């Protein structure tokens, strides 16, 4: 008969942290969330660290070049989704690596043959009112003019008018040359009372747009994650099918770290990828693997040369793998066992292989629990999908704003490579759903609140670093009645009396 674990499979919500001694220095301002992203040997430093222990999931609805820049500004790493063509993923990486703070590549562009109806449709899609009219309708074509909401009145126009008839032409625009600094660009904006300043190459091509509204956001981010060339660190997802073509293209585009995107990592498919990377690049290319849920799976991937290992199967909010296949494990139990295996592996080999908790995060306090249980960093999908920086669409549902969120195993994503077991190149059944998540606005403010809670909780445990938290933290299982006790109870909430 099958081997049966004696202990049940547990989730984060079944645990609480027990407070520890807090000294006078235990204040959130003193807490460091710095963590290793890739493996290192005893006595050495990891080649890549993060300043916050967060990565964004390798998902179409979560991680593109915009998210990569936004998260790197905060100190984390985004893994751009791989369920697209090699050329498209490489282009996203190149855009993120070439990003200059304050200089925005236009994502709302029109060709001279487009009409007002095209502009209105584009505005609804991008939610941006400034549209660049270029010779070929691309972000870097020759600039012909700019369109803002002040250039047209829908009620007085038919919609068939070509953009050249109502745009503000280049001759009437104030522009700046390619060598303009951000400081000078902002001076031009303020001196001329502009909302946007196009940055133009010598041959007339549009390079960037500097926006007045972004002025305050250009202040230095103290935790931003940069490489040795002062460019943002960017991650990318790869699969076990076209890796021999995809990986060289992503590395050439500037990817700093890769991750094999798979629902189940304890397989020969991942070994083949890791073997090829080491034979081709040695240790120069950093690549994580996964996902696994036990010590055996971790040790397999660590021995294969993974730079980090992702933990979690079936715990994502849009994942139905457990429901469909009966495969998986409670995220808390998985993280605890794999963390022990990581520590044992470090003692035996002197190589520390970081682990990433992927899935199962519902509440902000789960972040701290996952770190205390041994995770070096987390990978989040639903959390980041709620924000403006995610590439998914914002829609109104029942009078409330939502953002679309779908799993890579859903029919919408059609990411069969992630669930590939060597069969036909298609999804035979769904392992993810298509859904909505409540819209939450900008990432920066929300992330600051979440990490504020993490730092405060660490102080309650008397810990100022993640390794110190893992050493000092004490966890207790909770009963169903203590979960009820933990929320508001035995009172009538004021909001209920107003209904």
Catalytic (active-site) positions: 319, 418
Cβ pair 80, 92 in contact under 8 A: yes
Burial of 1 (0-12, 13-18, 19+ CB in 10 A): exposed
| Measured CA angle at 338 (ends 333, 343), to 5 deg | 130
**Chain centroid, CA 486 distance in Å:** 31
Closest CA to 168 of 147, 154, 187: 147
**CA neighbours within 13 Å on the CB side: how many for 229?**
10
Compute CA distances 241 → 46, 158, 180, 247, 382, whole Å: 29, 50, 44, 11, 27
- Residue 484 neighbours by CB under 8 Å, 6+ apart: none
Closest CA to 134 of 142, 146, 123, 126: 142
- Residue 123 neighbours by CB under 8 Å, 6+ apart: 108, 129, 131
Q: Which two tokens stand for residue 219?
A: 């202040």
Q: Please give the span between the terminal C-alpha atoms of the chain, in angstroms, as a whole number.
A: 56
| Buried b / exposed e along 193-210 (16+ C-beta atoms within 10 A) | ebebbbbbeeeebbbbbb
Q: What distance in Å separates the CA atoms of residue 171 and residue 155, rounded to the nearest whole number?
A: 27
Q: What distance in Å separates the CA atoms of residue 317 and residue 331, rounded to the nearest whole number?
A: 12
Tell me which H or E stretch contains 145: strand 143-147
Tell me which H or E stretch contains 185: helix 182-191
Burial of 368 (0-12, 13-18, 19+ CB in 10 A): buried
Q: What distance in Å separates the CA atoms of residue 477 and residue 14, rounded to the nearest whole number?
A: 6
Beta strands 109-110 and 131-134: pairing type? parallel
DSSP state of 387: B
């Amino acid at each position: 008969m099958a081997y049966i674990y004696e202990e049940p499979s547990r989730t984060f919500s079944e645990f609480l942290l027990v407070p520890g001694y807090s000294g006078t220095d235990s204040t959130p301002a003193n807490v460091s969330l710095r963590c290793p992203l890739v493996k290192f040997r005893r006595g050495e430093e990891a080649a890549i660290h993060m300043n916050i222990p967060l990565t964004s999931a390798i998902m179409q609805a979560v991680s593109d070049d915009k998210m990569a820049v936004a998260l790197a500004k905060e100190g984390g790493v985004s893994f751009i989704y791989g369920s697209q063509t090699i050329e498209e993923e490489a282009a996203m990486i190149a855009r993120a690596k070439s990003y200059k703070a304050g200089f925005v590549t236009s994502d709302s562009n029109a060709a001279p043959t487009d009409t007002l109806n095209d502009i209105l449709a584009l505005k609804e899609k991008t939610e941006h009112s400034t549209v660049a009219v270029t010779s070929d309708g691309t972000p870097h074509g020759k600039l012909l003019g700019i369109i803002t909401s002040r250039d047209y009145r829908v009620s007085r126009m038919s919609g068939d008018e070509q953009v050249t008839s109502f745009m503000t032409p280049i001759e009437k625009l104030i522009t700046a040359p390619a060598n303009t600094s951000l400081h000078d660009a902002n001076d031009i904006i303020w001196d001329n009372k502009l909302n946007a300043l196009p940055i133009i190459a010598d041959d007339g091509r549009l390079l960037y747009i500097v926006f007045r509204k972004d002025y305050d956001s250009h202040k230095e981010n103290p935790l931003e994650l940069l490489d040795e060339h002062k460019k943002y660190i960017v991650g990318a997802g790869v699969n076990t099918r076209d890796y021999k073509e995809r990986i060289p293209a992503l590395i050439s585009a500037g990817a700093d770290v890769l991750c094999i995107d798979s629902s189940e990592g304890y397989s020969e498919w991942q070994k083949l990828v890791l073997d090829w990377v080491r034979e081709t690049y040695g240790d120069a290319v950093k690549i994580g693997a996964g996902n696994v849920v036990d010590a055996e799976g971790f040790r397999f991937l660590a021995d294969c040369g993974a730079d980090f290992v992702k933990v979690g199967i079936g715990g994502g909010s849009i994942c139905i793998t457990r429901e469909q296949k009966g495969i998986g494990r409670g995220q808390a139990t998985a993280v605890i066992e794999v963390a022990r295996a990581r520590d044992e592996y470090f003692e035996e080999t002197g190589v520390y292989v970081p682990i990433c908790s992927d899935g199962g995060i519902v509440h902000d306090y789960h972040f701290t629990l996952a770190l205390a249980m041994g995770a070096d960093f987390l990978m989040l999908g639903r959390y980041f999908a709620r924000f403006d920086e995610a590439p998914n669409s914002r829609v109104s549902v029942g009078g409330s704003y939502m953002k679309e969120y779908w799993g890579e195993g859903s029919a919408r994503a059609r990411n069969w490579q992630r669930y590939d077991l060597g069969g036909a190149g298609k999804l035979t059944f769904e392992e993810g759903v298509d859904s909505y998540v409540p819209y939450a606005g900008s990432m920066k403010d929300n992330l600051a609140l979440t990490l504020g809670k993490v730092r405060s909780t660490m102080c309650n445990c008397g810990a100022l670093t993640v390794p110190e938290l893992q050493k000092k933290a004490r966890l207790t299982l909770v009963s169903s009645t203590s979960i009820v006790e933990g929320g508001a109870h035995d009172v009538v909430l004021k909001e209920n009396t107003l209904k």
